[in-house]
Structure 1
Amino acid sequence: MLEQDKKIKRVVIKIGSSSLTSMHGEISRRKLENLANQIVALKDAGYETAVVSSGAVAAGYRKLGCIQRPTSLPEKQAAASIGQGLLMESYSELFLSHGYVASQILITRSDFANENRYNNMKNTLNVLLERGIIPIINENDTVTVDRLRFGDNDTLSAKVAALIEADQLIILSDIDGLYDDNPNNNPDAKLLDKVHEITPEIEAAAGGSGSAVGTGGMKSKISAVKIAMASGIDSFLGKADSKDILVKAVSGSAKGTYFNQDPEGFNLDNNQQWIAFHSGPEGEVIISPESKKAVIEDRKNILPSDILHVKGRFSEGAVVRVMDENGEEIGLGRINYSSGKLEETLIEEECETKEAIEQDTFVCSRDFAMPVSV
């Protein structure tokens, strides 16, 4: 019987389309049941589990009358509208047979961008998990347009893991981990069992999509892991059809790649995560070289006297990009003045007044390097 790792309580499991589909591209009941049984084993051992599941299009396109997986956006969305219900029905039936209740949550990127909806999602998920429910989460493919898409459920799963402050993110795919080179091109490529930092070399080794039925390849998985690591969450990447992959992943014995951040590394809190990954900056402030050094090295706030130029129109409390004179992005943060007020301050050269110096003008996300581009 699986015993719970006391360091891990809350787990987010991302299941890709290829992990759920047969060779013909339809949902495989055998694969779904195998993964559901492992999730039940985690629940029985005391883990809180949330599932980010792909597969809606795969589950629905045959019912739509398509012989092959559709390629046009309207057909994909129509197939997803059919398949999402079918997929949810299967999950519910399997979990109920073991005494567990599943819930459905469909999300768009705008739900994360809006701070009120972001907090509502967090509260809802926390209630579900604390009461033993298994949330089944997916992007709302039926209504989402390209400019508002996450693009893949790898990214969505990492953002969900950060949202609910999970202890571990498990990404299942048809790939058995991260290699030091593309194994399709290099037969001598080695599987990396532990990674503590996503280096440029690792990002360069990430290839394209590994499956014809999925939307995310290794590149999207590495981006997802970077979000998780910046949020202080350990991650695991492994092959879905490996025996007892979920059970072994939480115990640290699975074949695959474990991503564990250096314990002394810096993590973003929930508010900083929203600023860094979801907010959608409304403008820019360009700061002096001296203040750039103070921000990065000493984690100091930015005062009006540090700002050289303002770009864009934004209100008090907006999120803006912090840039240096060379156009390099330093970080994101909330501004305590509107763009108009800052411009007035710059013109009137009143930045050195006692009032301005005593008030923290700008509260910036402490992750100034921006761990990923989103």
Structure 2
Amino acid sequence: MPVTEPRTRTDLPRARRVVVKVGSSSLTGADGHLDVPALEALVTVLASARRAGQQVVLVSSGAIAAGIGPIGLAARPRDLATAQATASVGQGLLVARYTEAFGMHGLRVGQVLLTAGDLVRRQHYANAQRALERLLALGVVPVVNENDTVATDEIRFGDNDRLAALVSHLVRADALVLLTDVDGLYDGPPARAGSRPVREVRSAADLADVEVTGRGSDIGTGGMVTKLDAASIATGSGIPVLLTSAPNAARALAGEEVGTWFAATGRRTSARRLWLAHAAQVRGRLHLDAGAARAVTDGKRSLLAAGVTGVEGDFEPGDAVELVGPDGVVARGLVAYGSTELPDMLGKSSAQLRQDGENLPRAVVHRDDLAQLSVHVRRERRRGRFSRGS
């Protein structure tokens, strides 16, 4: 019988819908060419899961990596224009291989190209959700990838792990499986003597002593940091995650003791809050005093002007901003005032704002427009640049 919320890895074989993400390094050889036998081996595993009654959504990296060899490049391109051109060549090759490989098992595939922008704009989000649901209802295996040919930041930072977590929420998946080039999470670099595997993560406390690096292989762009970020996004919205290597895919989906299991830590959240926490483009920052930070996080209260100590960025009412307490970023929210209005309001109570002529002083960020960030995401959130535009 299918289970809707796997509690342990042994429940994975009975999960109704699973998102599987595979990285570039698992699909390409050292020479930069697509590793067709590795791709076919993964497809065989996923086809077996489909025959067992599971619905599978595949989030696949590899477009740029697949184009490196055919274009004649020695390594992954560093400039944006060449990366986009390489992705254009590689994406066609990649989906053709998937079509052929799944076809050998009597399955059809449907290509779905997304960028973070498709998950920021609500209408695009609804369109993507509807398309994916229909593909699954028709028995098609969706093959999702970033639209690297037109993406910008996505190419530079390699965010398919994060995309996979957001897609898991988009399709209401029961579990997310992240396949990479290491067999799981270790408490230190896997190649270093003495590093030990972490078999299960049930809270942020289990990651306190884990040492990770930001960059993965020369072919891929992600590292273990992006895997943990993706796991945090998924588990925080009620979706458990299994992290292991691509050769372990069959054992992972069979519920065997491989890789690292990240238990769901939160409840399934609304698409709006997940979008706000992880996909909305941030236009600025509001700095909060300690009391306001506690009110927003522990008290789940609206942010008032009295608790704001500083403003960064150029934003308008309705834009997404980060809320920064004394210990770092604690939440994101949709601001009710523009960056030109707020400086004159800082530190003022509602009574003082009324005296200044604000008849109905609104909360700077209403609690319904707030999304708290998980402990891991707070720790990894880097200071960004804020700009207008799409």
TM-score range relative to shorter protein: 0.7 to 0.9
Structure 2 SS opposite 1:205: coil
Letter matched to residue 63 of structure 1? P
CA distance in 2, matches of 1:158, 1:360: 26
Matched with 1:255 is 258
Shift in alpha-carbon separation, 1:77–1:316, aligned structure 2, 3 A:
closer
1:167-206 matched pairs, under 5 angstroms: 167-186=174-193, 188-199=194-205, 204-206=210-212
Shift in alpha-carbon separation, 1:351–1:174, aligned structure 2, 3 A:
same
- Aligned Cα root-mean-square deviation (Å): 3.2
Structure 2 SS opposite 1:350: helix
CA contact (8 A) 1:64 1:78 kept: no
Letter matched to residue 219 of structure 2? V
Matched with 2:225 is 219
Matched with 1:299 is 300
1:310 shift after superposition? 5.1
1:45 shift after superposition? 1.9
Matched with 1:81 is 88
CA contact (8 A) 1:315 1:339 kept: yes
How big is each residue's C-alpha offset from its partner over 1:18-51, in whole Å with a ceiling of 9 and x where there is no partner?
A: 2222354322222111111111111122222111
CA distance in 1, matches of 2:233, 2:218: 25
Structure 2 SS opposite 1:78: helix
1:90 paired residue among 90, 97, 103: 97
How big is each residue's C-alpha offset from its partner over 1:248-306, in whole Å with a ceiling of 9 and x where there is no partner?
A: 323421411111134xx466432111111111233344455444333222212234555
CA distance in 2, matches of 1:200, 1:253: 21
CA contact (8 A) 2:59 2:160 kept: yes
Letter matched to residue 56 of structure 1? A
Letter matched to residue 256 of structure 2? S
Matched with 2:49 is 42
Name structure 1 gaps, 5 residues minimum: none
1:216 shift after superposition? 1.7
Shift in alpha-carbon separation, 1:221–1:311, aligned structure 2, 3 A:
closer
Matched with 1:116 is 123
- TM-score, normalised by the number of residues in structure 1: 0.83
Structure 2 SS opposite 1:106: strand
Shift in alpha-carbon separation, 1:86–1:305, aligned structure 2, 3 A:
same
Shift in alpha-carbon separation, 1:132–1:295, aligned structure 2, 3 A:
same
Structure 1 SS opposite 2:92: helix
Name structure 2 gaps, 5 residues minimum: 6-14, 383-390
How big is each residue's C-alpha offset from its partner over 1:114-149, in whole Å with a ceiling of 9 and x where there is no partner?
A: 333233222322222233221111122222234775
Q: Does 1:334 align with 2:337?
A: no
Letter matched to residue 97 of structure 1? M
Matched with 2:242 is 236
- TM-score, normalised by the number of residues in structure 2: 0.80
Equivalent residues, number: 364
